[in-house]
Structure 1
Amino acid sequence: MKALKRLVLMLQFFTRIPINISISSNSSDFGKGLVYAPFVGLVIGALLTMAAYGLLYIFPRVMVTAIILVLYMLVTGGLHLDGLGDTFDGIFSNRSKERILEIMRDSRVGTNAVLAVSGVILLDFAALTQINPDYYLRTILLMPMAGRAGSLVGAAVSRYARQGEGLGKSFIDFCGKKELIWGLAIYTAISLLTFDLGLWFVLLLPPFSALLFVRFFSRKTGGATGDILGAVCELNQCIFLIAACGILQ
């Protein structure tokens, strides 16, 4: 029952899918629930893929891609894109660690946030419109999973950067090696079901790119936060799409 509770909790937290179930939870459920992050990504991808499949009968692929990216933002509530913007506002302010963390908590949107979010969306759009048509739907299916695998890795290998409480503390404090191993096992199992050597290779990249992103951000902040985990998710997803566009010819 704990496993099912944590899965539902992750779906409620990371998506806007209406799941009207009241769940009693504690801090550890969030961190330990990250083991299901790749599966949550697959659920998001499945919804987007079904929408794309139907829309391709009506619109050209460029228009379908634009609609799918908007739907992605609606399904996720822009949660990770918000983290991406906050992270870039802080990291590229060139301030002290303490000031960076303060800026990341500021609700105002700065220039670096706008550049980061718009840049990632443009790269996602370009990669999806130019990818081999044979891989188009499969890439949409797998891209949210690749991104959320990055959040899992980031939480498992980091310590919490702030003093006191924060949105990401429960995820980072209670996501450890066990959650990382089982989460990556789920990620690997889903990847193998694609039965495609090219996709296998592309899906190998996100866990490793997540380590690089987390290490870079942690040097600036002394650890990770919820915003940083969101940033890693979006950057990982973007890396997956760019790699798929370049490799799957």
Structure 2
Amino acid sequence: MFKNILIKINGAVDGIRGLISFMTRIPMGNFKSGFEEISKYFVFVIFIGMFIGFIGSIVAYPFFYLGIKSYMLIGALVLFVMLYIQGFHHVDGLGDYGDAWMVMGIARKKLEVMRDKNMGVGAFMFIFFTELISVASIGYLYEITYSNFLLFAKFIILVESCSRLGLLTCACCGIPSKDGTGRYFVKNTDEYHLFIGYLILMILSFVMNIPKIGVICSTFTVFFGVFMAWNSNKSLKCVTGDVLGASTELTRALVYIVLIFSLYIY
């Protein structure tokens, strides 16, 4: 019995290592798990978001310490570091999603455009404006938390975690595609994983002492993730890996807007 438990623990650790390796540029060494096994631990993507948000916020600390007020520069640097850690993995999906969004026609035609290696105007505009919103929002948060680095870090960690909750929600509510790596994550993610992900965000919000803002941002994230899945199920007849990537980037940008509005309400 003890041996079986040990085997299961080793399998889980290997699967989580595989997930981290797939979702980031963090070196995790050799692992045996394939996408089928990795996808079973998809809920741990929330913790990956926390870690990336933490690293991104640390980048801004020297600017806080020196009193530098170049807000857009700081926003760009923080976002670049976070995107770099994730290997620009989801940005690529956002671009493909943007191209497919601009196509008028049946689902098969949209999917063909999404898989095309060429970058169209839809991809450029989606990436440019989505990431611009994030850059400007991070810069604004730096401005209003100018004397409180800890609060700034809490906001960055919260939003980056929410972006992964949006990814998890989209996978939970989506229809698996017939091919591609994304189908494993959609197929093996259900309401239980979504509940656990939402619960983790609630706990994080209370631990960081921003419960009201955390509840608002997390709840909005779930609704937006459901919308992303519903829209893709309707227009593409499935949720692909590119849609999952796009959900991460779009969720981040929109949650930053919700966060900023929430700060004025509360």
TM-score of the alignment, normalized to the shorter chain, above 0.5? yes
For the residue of structure 1 that corresponds to 2:65, the secondary structure is coil
The 8 Å contact of residues 75 and 137 in structure 2, kept in 1 or not, is answered as no
91-100 or 50-59: bigger deviation? 50-59
Show structure 2 runs of 5+ residues with no match.
1-8
- Between the two proteins, the alignment pairs up a number of residues equal to 246
> How do residues 183-202 of structure 1 correspond to structure 2 at under 5 angstroms?
183-196=197-210, 197-202=212-217
Q: Which amino acid aligns with 2:127?
A: V
The 8 Å contact of residues 32 and 179 in structure 1, kept in 2 or not, is answered as no
4+ runs deviating over 4 angstroms: none
> How far, CA to CA, are the matches of 1:148 and 1:101 in structure 2?
23
> How far, CA to CA, are the matches of 1:72 and 1:43 in structure 2?
10
Structure showing greater Rg: 2
Q: How far off is 1:93 after superposition?
A: 1.0
Which residue number corresponds to residue 167 of structure 1?
181
> How far, CA to CA, are the matches of 2:35 and 2:24 in structure 1?
19
Which residue number corresponds to residue 20 of structure 2?
11
1:176 aligns with 2:176: no
The 8 Å contact of residues 9 and 33 in structure 1, kept in 2 or not, is answered as no
Show structure 1 runs of 5+ residues with no match.
none
- Pick from 104, 108, 127: which aligns with 2:114? 104
> How far, CA to CA, are the matches of 1:6 and 1:178 in structure 2?
19
95-104 or 23-32: bigger deviation? 23-32
- Pick from 228, 233, 236: which aligns with 2:248? 233
Q: How far off is 1:217 after superposition?
A: 2.2
Q: How far off is 1:169 after superposition?
A: 1.3
1:55 aligns with 2:63: yes
The 8 Å contact of residues 56 and 81 in structure 2, kept in 1 or not, is answered as yes
> How far, CA to CA, are the matches of 1:32 and 1:54 in structure 2?
39
The 8 Å contact of residues 34 and 152 in structure 1, kept in 2 or not, is answered as yes
Percent pairwise identity: 24
- What TM-score, normalized to structure 1? 0.92
1:138 aligns with 2:154: yes
Which residue number corresponds to residue 33 of structure 1?
41
Q: How far off is 1:61 after superposition?
A: 4.7
Q: How far off is 1:226 after superposition?
A: 0.2
TM-align CA RMSD: 1.7
The 8 Å contact of residues 40 and 185 in structure 2, kept in 1 or not, is answered as yes
The 8 Å contact of residues 16 and 38 in structure 2, kept in 1 or not, is answered as no
